[in-house]
C-alpha cells in the first residue's frame, strides 16, 4: 500500500468549499488504496488577520508570542479538514506540530526542524485513518511553540515524509507542475514529467518560485520523492528526482529556461588594481543589505581593472550612490549603470557531461541579434545578462534551439 504525504497551502484550502473539495479528493485517494498524511497551512487570509491583531497591540511583538498566535491558523484548518473527512466516513485525526513531536530549534518565526517522531502517525495510518497535521509549526525542546517561517508547510510535509519513509510527498500548488519555462512567455512551454532536485533549486532560485528552496534541499537530503501538482486541476504534475551517480549520461541536455526581469547592472571602472578590490567595492553594498547576483571582474589591463555586478532593480539608485562615493575613495575612473537589463539562464544536469551547450546558447542569441552583456556559469546552469527588451525573444529562441517543447 503506497504511503503518501500530501500538502495543501492556504489558497488550496482557503474556504469551507475548498476544504470540502480537498476532503473529497483525499477520500478518493484513500479508497484507491493510499495511506495518507495531509499537511495543511492556515486558510488564506487567516495569518494576516492574526498579524493584524498583534500589530494593533504593539509594533514589536515578541517572536515567541507571534508563534503562539499565528500557529492557531493551521490548528483551525486541521480541525475543519478532519471534520470534513469524518463527515465522509474516515476516522481522521488532526495533530498540531507539538502533538506529533515536530521538534525544532528555538529560533522563533524561522525555526528549523530537528526531529519528528513518526510513531503516532504510523499507528493511526495502520488503523486506516487519514492523518491531518498542521504545517508550519513545531515545538522546541522546552515545549515552546515555534513556526518555520515562509514556505514552512512544504518543509513540514517533506520532513514527515522523511520520518515515516513515505513513497511520495505531493505538494499541491496553484500551478500544475514545473515547466520548461514560463508558459506566459513561451506558448509551447512543456510541463516536465520530472526534474532533478539540483535543477529545481537552480530554477527556483532564479525566479520560478513554485517550491521553497528550503523544502527542496530538505527533500534532497533525505531523498524524498517530491511531486508538484495543482490543487485545482487534475494531472500528474512534476516529480522531483535525485541524481544517481552516472545517471546524468541519459539526462536531457537542458531541462528548463529561467529568467529574471527587473535586474540592474553597475560597473565601477578604472580601479587601480590591487588585492582586495572586490571586497572594498562589495563590502559597502553588503552593509546596505543589498543582494548582489552576478559579479564579473575584468582581467587587469595596465594596472587598472573594472568590476561589474547586478542587483535587483529596486536597489539600483541606492547602489549607484554607494559606488559614486567609492570612486574618489578608490581613486577609480567612474561609475556606469544600466537598469534595463534582464537575466536568462538555461539549466540542466545534462550539461555536465556534454560539451557545446554554452556555445549553442551564445550562437543562438547571436543569430537573433541579442547582445550578451555578462556571462555567469555554474556546473548545471549558464546565465547571461541581456537588454530587457530582448528578454522574451531570448527565452523563445533558446526554447526552440534546445527543442524543449519535445519530450
Binding positions for its own copies, rule: CB under 8 A? 16, 19-20, 50, 53-54, 56-58, 60-62, 64-66, 68-69, 71-72, 75-76, 78-80, 82-84, 86-87, 93-94, 96, 98-99, 143-145
Q: Which is nearer to its own copies, 83 or 401 (CB)?
A: 83
* Alpha helices in 98-151, H assignment, sequence order: 119-126
Nearest approach in angstroms of CB 107 to its own copies is 18
Q: Which is nearer to its own copies, 79 or 295 (CB)?
A: 79
Nearest approach in angstroms of CB 75 to its own copies is 5
Q: Which is nearer to its own copies, 107 or 297 (CB)?
A: 107
Q: Which is nearer to its own copies, 64 or 110 (CB)?
A: 64
Nearest approach in angstroms of CB 132 to its own copies is 9
Strand pairing class (226-230; 238-241): antiparallel
At what angle are helices 16-31 and 63-87 packed, to 10 degrees? 60
Q: How far is CA 318 from CA 100, 109, 335, 349, in A?
A: 47, 29, 13, 37
Nearest approach in angstroms of CB 86 to its own copies is 5
Q: How far is CA 317 from CA 140, 215, 235, 283, 327, in A?
A: 42, 34, 45, 17, 16
Nearest approach in angstroms of CB 402 to its own copies is 48
Instruction: Please state, in angstroms and rounded to a whole number, the distance separating the CA atoms of residues 372 and 180.
Output: 22
Q: Which is nearer to its own copies, 73 or 256 (CB)?
A: 73
Residue 353's φ and ψ, nearest 5 degrees, are -110, 5
Nearest approach in angstroms of CB 244 to its own copies is 41
Nearest approach in angstroms of CB 94 to its own copies is 5
Nearest approach in angstroms of CB 33 to its own copies is 25
Nearest approach in angstroms of CB 158 to its own copies is 24
Instruction: Please state, in angstroms and rounded to a whole number, the distance separating the CA atoms of residues 218 and 222.
Output: 7
Q: Which is nearer to its own copies, 54 or 375 (CB)?
A: 54
Instruction: Please state, in angstroms and rounded to a whole number, the distance separating the CA atoms of residues 22 and 77.
Output: 12
Instruction: Please state, in angstroms and rounded to a whole number, the distance separating the CA atoms of residues 218 and 238.
Output: 18
Q: Which is nearer to its own copies, 120 or 354 (CB)?
A: 120
Cβ-Cβ contacts under 8 Å for 354 (sequence gap 6 or more): 253
Q: Taking phi first (over 0 means left), then psi (-120 to 50 degrees means alpha), and beta for anything else, what does residue 128 get?
A: left
Nearest approach in angstroms of CB 180 to its own copies is 40
Q: Which is nearer to its own copies, 57 or 407 (CB)?
A: 57
* Alpha helices in 88-196, H assignment, sequence order: 119-126, 152-163
Do residues 367 and 361 lie in contact, with contact meaning Cβ atoms separated by under 8 Å? no
Q: Which is nearer to its own copies, 77 or 339 (CB)?
A: 77
Q: Which residues pair with 165 in a beta bridge?
A: none
Sign of CA dihedral 241, 242, 247, 249: positive
Nearest approach in angstroms of CB 3 to its own copies is 23
DSSP code per residue over 180-230: SS-TTT-TT--B-SEEEHHHHHHHHHTT--SS-HHHHHHHHHTT--EEEEE
* Alpha helices in 4-151, H assignment, sequence order: 16-31, 46-57, 63-87, 119-126
Q: Which is nearer to its own copies, 62 or 247 (CB)?
A: 62
Instruction: Please state, in angstroms and rounded to a whole number, the distance separating the CA atoms of residues 278 and 401.
Output: 36
DSSP conformation class of 35:
E
Q: Which is nearer to its own copies, 99 or 297 (CB)?
A: 99
Instruction: Please state, in angstroms and rounded to a whole number, the distance separating the CA atoms of residues 51 and 66.
Output: 8
Amino acid at each position: 500500500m503506497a504511503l503518501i504525504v500530501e500538502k495543501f497551502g492556504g489558497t488550496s484550502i482557503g474556504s469551507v468549499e475548498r476544504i470540502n473539495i480537498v476532503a473529497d479528493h483525499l477520500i478518493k485517494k484513500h479508497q484507491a488504496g493510499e495511506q495518507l498524511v495531509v499537511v495543511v497551512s492556515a486558510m488564506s487570509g487567516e495569518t494576516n488577520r492574526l498579524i493584524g491583531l498583534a500589530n494593533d497591540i504593539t509594533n514589536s511583538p515578541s517572536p515567541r508570542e507571534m508563534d503562539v498566535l499565528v500557529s492557531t491558523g493551521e490548528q483551525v484548518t486541521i480541525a475543519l479538514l478532519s471534520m470534513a473527512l469524518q463527515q465522509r466516513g474516515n476516522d481522521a485525526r488532526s495533530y498540531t506540530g507539538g502533538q506529533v513531536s515536530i521538534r525544532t530549534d528555538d529560533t522563533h518565526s524561522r525555526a528549523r526542524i530537528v526531529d519528528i517522531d513518526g510513531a503516532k502517525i504510523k499507528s493511526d495510518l495502520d488503523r486506516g485513518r487519514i492523518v491531518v497535521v498542521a504545517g508550519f509549526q513545531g515545538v522546541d525542546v522546552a515545549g515552546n511553540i515555534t513556526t518555520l517561517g515562509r514556505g514552512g508547510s512544504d518543509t513540514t510535509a517533506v520532513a514527515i515524509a522523511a520520518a515515516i519513509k513515505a513513497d511520495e510527498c505531493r505538494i499541491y500548488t496553484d500551478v500544475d507542475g514545473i515547466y520548461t519555462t514560463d508558459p506566459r512567455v513561451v506558448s509551447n512551454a512543456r510541463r516536465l514529467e520530472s526534474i532533478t532536485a539540483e535543477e529545481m533549486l537552480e530554477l527556483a532560485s532564479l525566479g520560478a518560485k513554485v517550491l521553497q528552496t528550503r523544502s527542496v534541499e530538505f527533500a534532497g537530503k533525505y531523498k524524498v520523492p517530491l511531486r508538484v501538482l495543482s490543487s485545482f486541476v487534475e494531472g500528474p504534475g512534476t516529480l522531483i528526482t535525485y541524481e544517481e551517480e552516472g545517471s546524468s549520461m541519459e539526462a536531457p541536455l537542458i531541462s528548463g529556461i529561467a529568467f529574471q526581469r527587473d535586474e540592474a547592472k553597475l560597473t565601477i571602472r578604472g580601479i587601480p588594481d590591487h588585492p582586495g578590490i572586490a571586497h572594498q567595492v562589495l563590502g559597502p553594498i553588503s552593509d546596505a543589505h543589498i543582494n548582489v547576483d552576478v559579479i564579473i571582474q575584468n582581467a587587469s589591463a595596465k594596472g587598472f581593472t573594472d568590476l561589474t555586478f547586478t542587483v535587483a532593480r529596486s536597489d539600483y539608485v541606492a547602489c549607484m550612490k554607494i559606488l559614486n562615493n567609492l570612486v574618489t575613495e578608490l581613486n577609480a575612473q567612474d561609475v556606469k549603470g544600466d537598469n534595463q537589463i534582464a537575466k536568462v539562464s538555461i539549466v540542466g544536469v545534462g550539461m555536465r557531461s556534454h560539451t557545446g551547450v554554452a556555445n549553442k546558447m551564445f550562437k543562438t542569441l547571436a543569430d537573433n541579434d541579442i547582445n550578451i552583456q555578462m556571462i555567469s556559469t555554474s556546473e548545471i546552469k549558464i546565465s547571461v545578462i541581456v537588454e530587457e527588451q530582448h528578454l522574451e525573444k531570448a527565452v523563445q529562441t533558446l526554447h526552440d534551439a534546445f527543442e524543449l517543447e519535445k519530450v
